[in-house]
C-alpha cells in the first residue's frame, strides 16, 4: 500500500492539522517509508491470534455514584485561553 500526497492532505484534515506544501511532501515520503517498513508484519500469519489491546486482565472499575470533592469552577477554568461568565468561550459554532 502506498500513500499519496492527496491521502496525506485528507489525513491531515481528519487530524485537524493544516500542513504546508513542504510538510505534505516530507510526510508523504516519510509515512511511506514507515508504512512500507510496517508491511513486514504481513510476513506473519495471525489468522488464529487474538489481538492484545492491553497487557493486564482489566475489568471495569465501578463505584457508588456519590458526591466527592472535585475541582472548583475557578480551578477548572484556570488554563482556559478565553472565558466569560464562568464558561469557556469559543467562536460561534452556528451561523446567525
If we measure between CA atoms, which residue out of 85, 92, 88, 62 comes closest to residue 77?
Answer: 88
Name the minimum Å distance from CB 21 to another protein.
13
Site string for another protein, 75-94 (x = CB under 8 A): xx-xxxxx-----x-xxxx-
How many CA atoms does the CB half-sphere of 52 hold within 13 Å? 4
Name the minimum Å distance from CB 66 to another protein.
13
67 binding another protein? (CB under 8 A): no
Alpha carbon 46 to its chain's center: 27
> What is the b/e burial string over 57-77, where b = at least 16 CB atoms within 10 angstroms of the residue's CB?
eeeeeeeeeeeeeeeeeeeee
Q: What is the DSSP letter of 87?
A: E
Site string for another protein, 22-61 (x = CB under 8 A): -x---x--xx-xxx-xx-xxxxx-x--xxxxxxxx-x--x
Q: Which residues bind another protein (CB under 8 A)?
A: 1, 3, 7-8, 11-12, 14-19, 23, 27, 30-31, 33-35, 37-38, 40-44, 46, 49-56, 58, 61, 71, 75-76, 78-82, 88, 90-93
Amino acid at each position: 500500500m502506498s500513500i499519496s500526497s492527496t491521502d496525506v492532505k485528507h489525513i491531515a484534515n481528519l487530524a485537524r492539522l493544516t500542513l504546508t506544501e513542504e510538510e505534505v511532501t516530507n510526510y508523504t515520503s516519510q509515512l511511506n517509508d514507515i508504512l512500507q517498513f510496517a508491511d513486514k508484519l504481513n510476513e506473519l500469519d495471525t489468522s488464529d491470534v487474538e489481538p492484545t489491546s492491553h497487557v493486564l486482565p482489566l475489568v471495569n472499575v465501578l463505584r457508588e455514584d456519590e458526591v466527592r470533592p472535585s475541582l472548583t469552577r475557578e480551578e477548572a477554568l484556570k488554563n482556559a485561553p478565553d472565558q466569560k461568565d464562568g464558561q469557556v468561550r469559543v467562536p460561534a459554532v452556528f451561523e446567525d
